[in-house]
Chain A
Amino acid sequence: MRRILIVATNTFREAVRDRVLYNLVVFAVLMIAASLLVGRASVGVERLALVNLGLTSISLFGILISIFLGIGLVYKEIDKRTLYTVLAARPVRRWEFIAGKWAGLVMTLVVNAAMMSVALFAGILYVSGKLTSADWGVVAAIYLILLQYVLMTSLALLFSTFSTPLMSAIFAFALFVIGSYAEDLRRFANMASGFTRVVAYGMSYAVPNFAALNMILPAAHSAPISGRLVLLDSIYVLVYAGVCMSASVLLFERRNLK
């Protein structure tokens, strides 16, 4: 556990020093501009517009970071041969290295999301004048966005263990897009018949269901987000990410690091 944490901390430090968190500046500017503008542009729906924009930005910024850093997590280490000195003559097992890299990126994304969330709540406070119990929905939506990050990081890491960054980016982004329409795919399967129905059903369950983790609209409309949904989503991500991580470890354990 200690070695996983050491690798994770170093991965976090790499992201910070590579100026990944600079996106926060863009986000802060976006929030300030939105807070000032939505009041004038859309009287009465300032909060809705701000929450919608803020949560969508938190989701997209994080997903993009998880894809673009995730696909290089292991590939870059192999390509630059930086992992030789970590795995060869240190008591670090390959699975510990994989887990550490994954945890480091998730740590980066959580810190990133936490800072963006603070900016979003400051914006809500500015346009609404106060925070209400309805804003717990925003907290729940942010938690579900964090689960999206976990899922995407696990997928990107899996691709990173066997594919080039370009191919990994294409795979990961394609899965994000398809996964965002997983519910539509399921509805299409219900309407289809025969072989198409089987394939559509199979795909709708196989692809990562990012749609189920997107509660941005209910949060923006101050609609309640059920605890049961949050719990089921958490279990779903735990299992899905667990399968991806296990596959990553299995592939990486057998790989010759030439």
Chain B
Amino acid sequence: MAAIETFALEKTYLVGFWHSKKKLALKPLTLTIEEGEVFGFLGPNGAGKTTTLRLLMRLVFPTGGSARILGRELDDPEMKRQIGFLPEQPYFYDYLTARELLDYYARLSGVAGRDRAKRIEHVLGKVGLSDAAGTQLRKFSKGMLQRVGIAQAIVHDPKLLFLDEPMSGLDPIGRREIRDLIADLNAAGKTIFFSTHILSDAESLCDRVAVLNLGELRGVSAVADIAREVSGSVEVMWSGASAIPAISALGGQCHATADIVRAVIAERQLDAAIDALRLARARLIQVVPIRATLEDYFLAKLAAKPEPANVRAPGPEVRA
């Protein structure tokens, strides 16, 4: 079953003093995310990522299209029990302690009394806040608040998690811990939909990514497919500076460190480059095809035309 489905989901705000000007926040978005996926929502500021999340969370209402989560309508309380949400730069009731806050959210989510205390301690441990559990949130740092945000999103053990910039405000160690936590949650069968600016996090965590720009879907791809794509260039490394003029003549930019030289050339020039190295009696060390990175894909899609509508996850089409 699809975890999230959007059908031409669209949002236009009316702005200005008389609400007479239209501002498009999200162009019709059709997207399907399957259960068990880690799906990254990438895009620069103002791309429409947060708007999409707020539409799915029903904090704002669409001006067109529709969406379903776990096969249910967006206002279905039963569905809401099964999802967790971390907003961007989360704010919480700062007069509560971390434990009290989680207790409040767990109660609202209907976590039964006898399991609640156990579950709260477990979650506090998972996000590394066991020692600060009795401290009021007004004394928390930004990174600690982000951890509380993740804790509240998982306190009721949801099936599907929506995380808006989950690594924001965290130091490198914190980022690593949260990355590991997301990977653990996915390994435990949770579906994770998260927006991020940090491409390395998306690259290491996501099964698939979507690129959004100016409120428009620019592309969806499996991360594994992006990595499989070669860019048409190879990196050649050899020993012997005498070959530099010949390789430069083939269009390669040579960088020498002591006796070791490396150059990136077009793949079609590879045979000629190897011949040139032989002629110059240079010792070939390695030839490595340059693979596309998520960054290449991201930048290419930002500049590209929008993806056609109705992008589906790979695999058989199953409809309820």
Closest to A87 in B: B59
Most buried by B among A85, A87, A93: A85
User: In the assembled complex, which residues on chain B have CB atoms less than 8 Å from the CB atom of A7?
Assistant: 108
The CA of A85 and the CA of B60, in the complex, are separated in Å by 14
Partner of A84, one of B57, B61, B80, B110: B57
User: In the assembled complex, which residues on chain A have CB atoms less than 8 Å from the CB atom of B84?
Assistant: 89
User: In the assembled complex, which residues on chain A have CB atoms less than 8 Å from the CB atom of B104?
Assistant: 6, 10
A24 within 8 A of B: no
User: In the assembled complex, which residues on chain A have CB atoms less than 8 Å from the CB atom of B149?
Assistant: 85
A30 → chain B, closest Cβ, in Å? Answer: 27
Q: Decide: B91 and A3 in contact? CB cutoff 8 A.
A: no
B316 within 8 A of A: no
Q: Decide: A258 and B107 in contact? CB cutoff 8 A.
A: no
A136 → chain B, closest Cβ, in Å? Answer: 39
Closest to B108 in A: A90
Q: Decide: A84 and B87 in contact? CB cutoff 8 A.
A: yes
User: In the assembled complex, which residues on chain A have CB atoms less than 8 Å from the CB atom of B13?
Assistant: 256, 258
- Give A57-99 as 1s and 0s: 1 = Cβ < 8 Å from B's Cβ atoms: 0000000000000000000000011101111111111000000
The CA of A10 and the CA of B105, in the complex, are separated in Å by 11
Interface size classification for chain B: 20 to 34
User: In the assembled complex, which residues on chain A have CB atoms less than 8 Å from the CB atom of B107?
Assistant: 6
- Give A1-41 as 1s and 0s: 1 = Cβ < 8 Å from B's Cβ atoms: 00100110010011001100000000000000000000000
Q: Decide: A84 and B59 in contact? CB cutoff 8 A.
A: yes
The CA of A254 and the CA of B60, in the complex, are separated in Å by 9
The CA of A17 and the CA of B94, in the complex, are separated in Å by 10
A231 within 8 A of B: no
A191 within 8 A of B: no
The CA of A18 and the CA of B153, in the complex, are separated in Å by 26
Q: A84-B85, A257-B59 are in contact. Are A91 and B95 (CB under 8 A)?
A: no
Q: Decide: A88 and B57 in contact? CB cutoff 8 A.
A: yes
Q: Decide: B93 and A10 in contact? CB cutoff 8 A.
A: yes
Q: Decide: B54 and A91 in contact? CB cutoff 8 A.
A: no
User: In the assembled complex, which residues on chain B have CB atoms less than 8 Å from the CB atom of A82?
Assistant: 91-93
B232 within 8 A of A: no
Q: Decide: A88 and B91 in contact? CB cutoff 8 A.
A: no
Q: Decide: A89 and B60 in contact? CB cutoff 8 A.
A: no
Q: Decide: A257 and B60 in contact? CB cutoff 8 A.
A: yes
B83 within 8 A of A: yes
The CA of A87 and the CA of B107, in the complex, are separated in Å by 13
**18 more A-B residue pairs beyond the given contacts A81-B87, A85-B152, with a C-beta to C-beta distance below 8 A:** A6-B107, A80-B91, A82-B93, A84-B59, A85-B85, A86-B108, A87-B58, A88-B87, A89-B83, A89-B85, A89-B153, A89-B162, A90-B81, A90-B105, A91-B77, A91-B109, A93-B77, A258-B13
Q: Decide: A18 and B61 in contact? CB cutoff 8 A.
A: no
A52 → chain B, closest Cβ, in Å? Answer: 36
